Amino acid sequence: MLLLVDAGNTRVKWALLDPRDDTPPGRWRDSGAMARGELAQLEQAWRGRGIERALMANVAGAATGAALERTLGLAAPAAVLEWFQSVPRRGGVENRYREPARLGCDRFAAAIGAHALWPGQALVVATCGTATTVDAISADGAFLGGMILPGLELMTAALAQHTAQLPRVVQGPLRAGAFADNTDDAIASGCIAAQAGAIERAVAAHGGPGVARCVLAGGAAAWIAPHLAVPHARADNLVLTGLQVVTRLEQAC
């Protein structure tokens, strides 16, 4: 069995699949997700599953990486572990970052996953999590670059922390009228406008809605999606999908 892991800033997601299965991208035999503080539970989830290889993307820091490696060693001592890294080309995507290795491995994997799900289409991939990343992929599979901004929760938290009288707005379904008549809604409106505006601006710069398909992913996508003025598709687990695509293409070689 093949284990795929996406260790993000807030949660760790994983998926198990048999690399011999001819399953489409984004489908696997089993999967799970948990908060970074609950990693001890992974040993039980992975033990006895016949894991022979693991491909992990980690942007959560060295301590999380060490914990994942230790847990895999306890659950599947013979498994071969590879840490997914950003390189100039992999998984059918060319990485055009000025320094390819400095592109976040989660962004690179998500680009690979999105390109596999929508081949031959220009894409703007917005991953709305702790941070919001908005990246452009060309129709022929080149990662062109992107933008990074604070996610919804970080935006509202920053306003509450660094101002004397503004309240903390809890993330959830947000009212975002253009001109709010109370402070909570004004904060929500501003944060939503910043998120949606960045995504819409990226779509316009990448050829417009008629050329570039907008893809939303991440935990906060559900709150941003209703406020977007451009057509968009939703995609879950793009990083895991990208890792799956990488293993499938390399196995076929």
Active site amino acids: 106
Reading the block at residue 221, the tokens are 């996508």
Burial of 111 (0-12, 13-18, 19+ CB in 10 A): buried
Cβ partners under 8 Å of residue 230, min gap 6: 199, 200, 203, 209, 214
Which residues have CB under 8 Å from 14's CB, separation 6+? 3, 4, 5, 6, 31, 32, 33, 42, 45, 46, 240
DSSP 8-state code for residue 201 = H
Residue with tokens 């209703």: 226
As separate numbers, helices (DSSP H) first and strands (DSSP E) second, the chain gives 7, 12
Give the separation between CA 149 and CA 92, rounded to whole angstroms. 27
- The pair of structure tokens assigned to 141 is 């599979």
DSSP three-state, residue 192:
helix
Residue 79 DSSP label: -
Q: Which residues pair with 32 in a beta bridge?
A: 14
First to last CA, the chain: 19
